[in-house]
Amino acid sequence: MWQDSSNRYAPSSSHSPYYAHSPQQNVPLQFYAPGPDQGQYYPGSRSSLEGNMGTQTSMASGNVAQSYGGNIQQPGGWWTAFGTGGFEGEPPLLEELGINFSHIRAKSMTVLNPLQDVDERIMDDADLAGPLLFFFLFGMLLLLSGKPQFGYIYGFGLLGSISIYTLLNLMSDKGIDVYRVVSVLGYCLLPMVGVGAVSVIVTLDGLVGYLLSLFSIIWCTFSASGIFVAVLRMSEQRLLVAYPVGLLYGCFALLSVFNVGAGGSGSGR
């Protein structure tokens, strides 16, 4: 009566009316049951939280499968905290600490060869890893020669860096920060480190030691003033820059030749 046979959405004559058959007992309900020739509705499912995910998609032309995966490093023991590895795309630990051995080598070679032309961009990547290493080596070598001068070394270095920083900013129009001043002075201490190594073998309180110390002062001063002049573009004022720098390295040479403070400790006994 109310059913229209021309309605394609109406049930056919072969079907029974609504609620004609009661559902079977003890049969689990299945809202979606894929056929044998059909894939799952969600083809890529993650069965566990291990960091791996894969998806497969089929194409009608060739049934090409594509998979996308990502791998997260599994947690290891306590020793992994001291490693340089990490997650994918993470920069190395030395790079995060600002330690670049290639840059340290290039700046050290510039100091050891002061006659070559200095690039004015050499201190664009200023660091303190090399200077701190050279200061520490200089102090250790003096300690091995019987001259514990760590306090004087860091004291002269701190006061000298502040003084050179003030003078350079008063003399130049471009200006320089204290970080680069400490970096230049620390790298140019490398010839003085060689004098400290010689003091371990032979005593420098003599004519040979005085000449060697004087040569190291000239070498350090020439290298440091050349870098400062190249960076600040003040080639006409190199002698004015070299004078206070030479006084600073002269203090380090005195520490390598004489045992400063030994007389006071001996009289106190």
Share in percent of the chain as helix, strand, coil (round to 5): 50, 0, 50
Higher pLDDT, 85 or 190: 190
The confidence score (pLDDT) of residue 38 equals 53
- Measure the CA–CA gap between 31 and 134, rounded to whole angstroms: 75
pLDDT per position as a tens digit, 160-189? 999 999 999 999 888 899 999 999 999 999
> Does residue 97 surpass a pLDDT of 50?
yes
Average pLDDT (188-194) is: 93
Q: Does 52 have pLDDT greater than 50?
A: no
pTM assigned to the model: 0.62
Q: What is the pLDDT of residue 248?
A: 95
The model's pLDDT over 232-260, given as tens digits with 9 standing for 90+, comes to 888 888 999 999 999 999 999 999 888 77
- Could you give the 3-state DSSP secondary structure of residue 138? helix
Rounded Cα–Cα distance for residues 185 and 211 (Å): 22
CA max distance for the chain: 129
Say yes or no to pLDDT of 48 above 50: no
The answer on pLDDT for 123 being more than 70 is yes
- What is the average pLDDT score of the chain? 74
Q: Tell me which range, 53-57, 66-70, 80-84, 215-219, is most confidently predicted by mean pLDDT.
A: 215-219
Q: pLDDT band at 204, cuts 50/70/90?
A: confident
Measured between alpha carbons, how far is 111 from 119 in angstroms, rounded to an integer? 12
Confidence of residue 49 (pLDDT cuts 50, 70, 90): very low
Is the pLDDT score of 47 beyond 50? no
What is the Cα–Cα distance from 187 to 133, expressed in whole angstroms? Answer: 9
Asked whether the predicted pLDDT for residue 265 surpasses 80, the reply is no
Under the banding of pLDDT at 50, 70 and 90, the label for residue 78 is: low
**Exposed, middle or buried by CB within 10 Å (0-12, 13-18, 19+), for 255?**
buried
